[in-house]
Structure 1
């Protein structure tokens, strides 16, 4: 065994002997809602050494969104748990032999690219000193908003329209997938949903959308008497919480 190989082996052995396994629980909490878990595709977590950029742990949060009554309707005192064993989390497991300053980055909900938000925080990880319980909780603001109609690049014959009206339809949920309904825990009456419509690049109208009898589904109608290329940018806005969401489609009336 050469001197260089022996030195490398001894260095590796020393790091292995003195490193301690350290666990860090990370959770993504939808603002004004519950935790982001398996039901909505999870949040993607990366724990990175802030100095070197080395990724120490990565993976998805898995589990349930949590107890609605506890999270939304219960006054939480200091040291009270907001989560239980089933609540969505990612457990980062790292082997370190000295304190490491890390950046923890969460992208959520990872499967919804038009709605995914990236948030981060920084903490010291100390060998053998686990961060458990509720763990490190990162708040993820926003809504998941999907335009259902018109469809992307849908070509609509003007002759097929009744009274020149085009249905605008959208699905809106909280970032954890929690349902929005009239008078519900997440009340549609608190959320402004509106479509900004352009025709050939120029603003044509703003169309308010209202909740239907179907949970999460909002509808409105556009007066589209002119033919041409339309752009529809839909937004949702909650004045009380500051949550926002946007989706956009283009369609054609000919």
Structure 2
């Protein structure tokens, strides 16, 4: 009898539940646009165990922005895929022994801090039960806006601009890097782009910005007095609800 008990204790003490590899394809998609991939530096993905916040997988999406016709122009049914083998994503390989509740966070665009947004979702992962194909798609709203003129904290002599239109210039793209153009898939005619101009902390006026070439918007104003100026430039697309903002401060001196 003692021998049987000893054998049983030995067998069960050495027993462990083996972890099963579980694969999850995770993608970041710009609202009203395409996927965020290598051309924009990728979106950063973090998968955490919700119970103890342990990071189970982490990395960046890589690949193309996807097929424009498939994503933006094709009528889709329930089972229609919007990705192909080249479409950007991050394949997380996670070893789990039991059903695990996780959070998935996407931070994007990784290399454009002023436009960066974080979105997340939560779900159960089951050992060995892969989530592939289109996978988990998280939507990133907004526009990436970079003010090109004036430069940050640029000092501008009043004598060089007095009585002349002072140019404002900004580059605007979708959150996937997709182009904004007149009459294009992402039509500049449907977007409101304006600058909010302040001097010494007080509102002066709104400045209308217009597309002059692909992604490039320009506007101007007469700056006739010295002071500390701030330009807040925004883009708004009513149909999608996409918004974006960039700010710059500059100084006009005598």
Smaller-chain TM-score bracket: over 0.9
Tell me the distance in 1 between the aligned counterparts of 2:107 and 2:89: 13
Tell me the distance in 1 between the aligned counterparts of 2:59 and 2:166: 43
Match of 1:190 in 2: 190
Contact 2:162 2:222 in 1 (8 A): no
| TM-score, normalising length: structure 2 | 0.93
Gaps of 5+ in 1: 1-9
Q: Which whole-Å deviations, capped at 9, do the CAs of 1:60-114 have from their partners, x for residues lacking one?
A: 0000000001100001111111001100000111100100000000001111111
Alignment of 1:202-217 (within 5 A): 202-212=202-212, 214-217=213-216
Contact 1:101 1:123 in 2 (8 A): yes
Q: Which whole-Å deviations, capped at 9, do the CAs of 1:34-54 have from their partners, x for residues lacking one?
A: 000000010000000011100
Tell me the matched-pair count. 242
Which aligned segments of 4 or more residues in structure 1 are displaced greater than 3 angstroms?
none
Tell me the distance in 2 between the aligned counterparts of 1:227 and 1:208: 22
Whose Rg is larger? 2
What RMSD, in angstroms, separates the aligned Cα atoms of the two structures? 1.4
How big is the shift at 1:224? 1.0
| TM-score, normalising length: structure 1 | 0.93
How big is the shift at 1:162? 5.6
- Higher mean alpha-carbon deviation, 20-29 vs 153-162, is at 153-162
Tell me the distance in 2 between the aligned counterparts of 1:222 and 1:241: 30
How big is the shift at 1:185? 0.6
Contact 2:162 2:223 in 1 (8 A): no
Match of 2:120 in 1: 120
* Secondary structure at 1:81 match in 2: coil
* Secondary structure at 1:51 match in 2: coil
